[in-house]
Chains A and B, each alone.
Chain A
Amino acid sequence: KAGVTQTPRYLIKTRGQQVTLSCSPISGHRSVSWYQQTPGQGLQFLFEYFSETQRNKGNFPGRFSGRQFSNSRSEMNVSTLELGDSALYLCASSPRTVSLDSPLHFGNGTRLTVT
């Protein structure tokens, strides 16, 4: 079974631009969560989608948004990029929503650098 796939692997953007990251979950997994990882703040939860509905959202500004498609693939978008958005963005999938005791299966992330 293929793992969680995130594209692109690396991305360099300029302040003020917007970016879209993609995540393909493990086949059959209906929940997709997104995390931001930085050296200073560690792993911070962005949002979780389950069956195309946002189930939970972290404390991030509205510039961060996401969606999930009917095939469970998910995208997250960051608009008006700031230098502080430079981070490793990790996507994780699970068979069920995180509200149950389902371990997360992570992709290798997208490394976003904002200059």
Chain B
Amino acid sequence: SQQGEEDPQALSIQEGENATMNCSYKTSINNLQWYRQNSGRGLVHLILIRSNEREKHSGRLRVTLDTSKKSSSLLITASRAADTASYFCATAKDTGRRALTFGSGTRLQVQP
């Protein structure tokens, strides 16, 4: 199974509403990152949170990290139609060989 698993797999909301996506992982990490992918395109980095951080903000994005529960959440406030995309969490282990391991993603649909 993958290191990161997002929940829910799909989410449909109205413009202006908030969207929350969750990510769980299995091993100890150095950092956790969130990426967005528009259909058929590459991934765009949104935010990185280190293992010693609990919360981070960037514009309308808020990320939390709970290392005791091995989980993270991404909150997008006041969503817009342009936020429609797939969102992935990615983790980097804290020891050994490191490569970003991506979760299965959450497909977010924001209805105008």
Identify the A interface with B (CB < 8 A).
4, 33, 35, 42-43, 45, 48, 55-56, 58, 88, 90, 92, 98-99, 101, 103-109, 111
Contact = CB atoms under 8 A, between A and B. Distances in A.
Q: DSSP class of A's interface residues: helix, strand, loop or mixed?
A: strand
A109 B41 contact: yes
Interface residues of B, number: 24
Contacts of A33: 99-100
Contact of A42 (B33, B35, B99, B103): B103
A4 B44 CA distance: 11
B46 to A, nearest CB: 9
Interface of B: 2, 30-31, 33, 35, 40-45, 48, 50, 88, 92, 97-105
Given A42-B104, A98-B92, A106 B44 contact: yes
Contacts of A101: 30-31, 48, 50, 92
Given A42-B103, A45-B100, A88-B40, 16 more contacts: A42-B102, A43-B102, A45-B101, A55-B97, A56-B97, A56-B98, A56-B99, A92-B42, A98-B99, A99-B97, A101-B31, A104-B43, A105-B45, A107-B42, A108-B41, A111-B40
